[in-house]
Amino acid sequence: MSTAISRRQFVSMMGLGTLSLLLSNTKALARSIETRIVEVSNNGQLRPPQLVNKIIKTAAEWRAQLSPTVYHITREAGTETAYTGRYWNEHTSGIYRCVCCNTALFNSKTKFDSRTGWPSFYAPIAPENVQEKSDRSLGMSRIEVNCSRCDAHLGHVFDDGPEPTGLRYCINSAALLLKPFV
């Protein structure tokens, strides 16, 4: 019995091996993409911006970590019904963090009552910690707000907020986790 392989078999095996190697390296590369964020202590102290690895997970990994509602809002750009989220009428002082990755997003000092039924802030805790991108869904032109570290959908930003910025970051409660000041 001969163990020799044909040229076609050899090329095919090499192609599959190369493809496998590329796929594994692509996954490793995707998990090592960096972004700049500002870390914030639980008492609100900001640290200098630093490079950190983005948090990249598969849909299955996110589903295992998050409730169905939180998954829908943060990973599928859903929106909770107005006046139903746990933070729309919250007055506790603290840091609002990303429910998916714990990145500091908003300080309660910038929260205001927008009378919209969603938690609203006039500024993020650090501009590095949120990303803004154009959203033309639902026949509207809006600016979507995402977490810079894990790309979680947070909500939208509008230009009808109070001074000093004139902005209203209208954020889903389900995308947030409030950590009271210590």
**Binding-site residue set for Zn(2+):** 98, 101, 147, 150
17/46 same-domain check: no
Mean pLDDT of 146-164: 97
Report residue 87 as tokens. 């933070």
User: Tens digits of per-residue pLDDT, 104-141?
Assistant: 999 999 999 999 999 999 999 999 999 999 888 877 88
Catalytic (active-site) positions? 170
Q: For residues 107 and 122, give the distance between their C-alpha atoms in angstroms, rounded to a whole number.
A: 10
User: Tens digits of per-residue pLDDT, 141-152?
Assistant: 899 999 999 999
**Binding-site residue set:** 98, 101, 147, 150
Q: Is the pTM of this model over 0.85?
A: no
More confident residue, 10 or 92: 92
19/43 same-domain check: no
User: Tens digits of per-residue pLDDT, 24-42?
Assistant: 554 455 456 999 999 999 8
Q: What is the mean pLDDT of the chain?
A: 88
Q: Any bridge partners for residue 7, and if so which?
A: none
> SS3 of 141, please?
coil
Q: Which domain holds residue 6?
A: 1-30
51/104 same-domain check: yes
64: CB partners within 8 A, 6+ apart? none
15/74 same-domain check: no
150/113 same-domain check: yes
> SS3 of 37, please?
strand
45/100 same-domain check: yes
